[in-house]
Amino acid sequence: MLPNILKFLLVSLSLNQLVKGSTGDQLDEFQRCVEACSQTTCQQDLGQDESNNEFLSLGYQEMPLSLPLKLLFWDCESNCDYQCQEIINFLRKRDEQELYQFHGKWFFVRYFNIQEPASCIFSFFNLISHWLGLKLLNQEIMKFKKLNLINNLKYVNNLIALFENYKIMCKITICAWIFSTIFHFRDLNLTEKLDYFFAGATVLSGLYVAALRSFKLYKGSPRRMILLRFIVGFVYACHVLRLLIDWSYTYNMQINVVWAVIQYGLWAYFSITSYMKYSEYLFKKDFKKKQIVEKLLGENEKKIPTTTTSTTKQWSWDIEDHPKFYILCLKYCPNWENIKCLTPIGLSIWVSCGLIFELFDFPPWRDMIDAHSLWHLTTVLPGYVWYHWMIWDGNKLKEQIL
Domains and CATH numbers, the chain: 19-94 (no CATH), 117-284+333-398 (1.20.1070)
Mean predicted confidence (pLDDT) in 68-79: 93
Mean predicted confidence (pLDDT) in 147-176: 90
Provide the residue type at 143 as one letter.
K
Contact 100, 27 (CB under 8 A): yes
| Angle at alpha carbon of residue 246, lines to 240 and 248, rounded to 5° | 85
Q: Residue 16: its pLDDT value, please? A: 45
Q: How many CA atoms lie within 13 A of 44 on its CB side?
A: 13
Q: Residue 21: its pLDDT value, please? A: 44
Can you list the pairs that 148-157 forms with residues at least 24 positions away whose Cβ atoms lie under 8 Å? 155/397, 155/398, 155/400, 156/398
Q: Residue 57: its pLDDT value, please? A: 80
Of the two residues 122 and 338, the one the predictor is more confident about is: 122
248: left (phi over 0), alpha (psi -120 to 50) or beta: beta
Q: Residue 287: its pLDDT value, please? A: 57
Q: Sign of torsion, CA 41 47 48 49?
A: positive
Does 305 sit behind a cis peptide bond, omega within 30 degrees of 0 on the bond before it? no
> What is the per-residue pLDDT across 347-364, written as a single tens digit (0 to 9) for each?
999 998 888 887 788 889
> What is the per-residue pLDDT across 275-328, written as a single tens digit (0 to 9) for each?
999 988 887 876 566 656 666 655 555 454 544 444 444 444 444 555 566 667
pLDDT grade for 149, boundaries at 50, 70 and 90: confident
Q: Residue 54: its pLDDT value, please? A: 80
| Angle at alpha carbon of residue 262, lines to 277 and 223, rounded to 5° | 75
φ/ψ (deg, to 5) at 300: -70, -35
Q: How many CA atoms lie within 13 A of 16 on its CB side?
A: 11
Of the two residues 287 and 273, the one the predictor is more confident about is: 273
Of the two residues 272 and 326, the one the predictor is more confident about is: 272
> What is the per-residue pLDDT across 89-109, written as a single tens digit (0 to 9) for each?
999 999 989 999 998 889 999
pLDDT grade for 11, boundaries at 50, 70 and 90: very low
φ/ψ (deg, to 5) at 116: -130, 85
Give the DSSP letter of residue 341. G
> What is the per-residue pLDDT across 24-36, written as a single tens digit (0 to 9) for each?
878 889 999 999 8
> What is the per-residue pLDDT across 187-197, written as a single tens digit (0 to 9) for each?
999 999 999 99
Q: Residue 299: its pLDDT value, please? A: 54
Contact 358, 371 (CB under 8 A): yes
Question: Whole-prediction pTM value?
Answer: 0.85
Strand partners, 111: 114
What are the residues whose beta carbons fall under 8 Å from the beta carbon of 226, sequence distance 6 or more?
none
Can you list the pairs that 104-111 forms with residues at least 24 positions away whose Cβ atoms lie under 8 Å? 104/17, 104/18, 104/20, 104/21, 104/22, 105/17, 105/21, 105/187, 106/363, 106/364, 106/370, 107/364, 107/367, 108/364, 108/367, 108/368, 108/370, 109/366, 109/367, 109/368, 110/82, 111/368
Q: Residue 232: its pLDDT value, please? A: 96
- Ordered alpha helix ranges (H), 148-248: 154-185, 189-214, 223-245
pLDDT grade for 59, boundaries at 50, 70 and 90: confident
pLDDT grade for 151, boundaries at 50, 70 and 90: confident
> What is the per-residue pLDDT across 195-240, written as a single tens digit (0 to 9) for each?
999 999 999 999 999 999 999 999 878 899 999 999 999 999 999 9
3-state helix, strand, coil in the chain (%, to 5): 75, 0, 25
Q: Residue 338: its pLDDT value, please? A: 87
Q: Residue 4: its pLDDT value, please? A: 43
Of the two residues 342 and 104, the one the predictor is more confident about is: 342
What's the burial of 399, exposed, middle or buried (CB within 10 Å: 0-12/13-18/19+)?
exposed
Can you list the pairs that 208-216 forms with residues at least 24 positions away whose Cβ atoms lie under 8 Å? 208/165, 208/169, 208/232, 209/165, 209/166, 209/169, 210/263, 210/266, 210/267, 210/270, 211/266, 212/162, 212/165, 213/162, 213/270, 213/393, 214/266, 214/267, 214/269, 214/270
Q: Residue 147: its pLDDT value, please? A: 84
Q: Residue 313: its pLDDT value, please? A: 44
Provide the residue type at 61 as one letter.
Q
Q: Residue 361: its pLDDT value, please? A: 84
For residues 204 and 232, what is the distance between their CA atoms, to the nearest angstrom? 7
- Calculate the CA 353 to chain-centre distance: 10
Average pLDDT taken over every residue of the chain: 84
Query: End-to-end distance of the chain based on CA atoms, in angstroms?
Result: 31
Q: Sign of torsion, CA 340 342 348 352?
A: negative
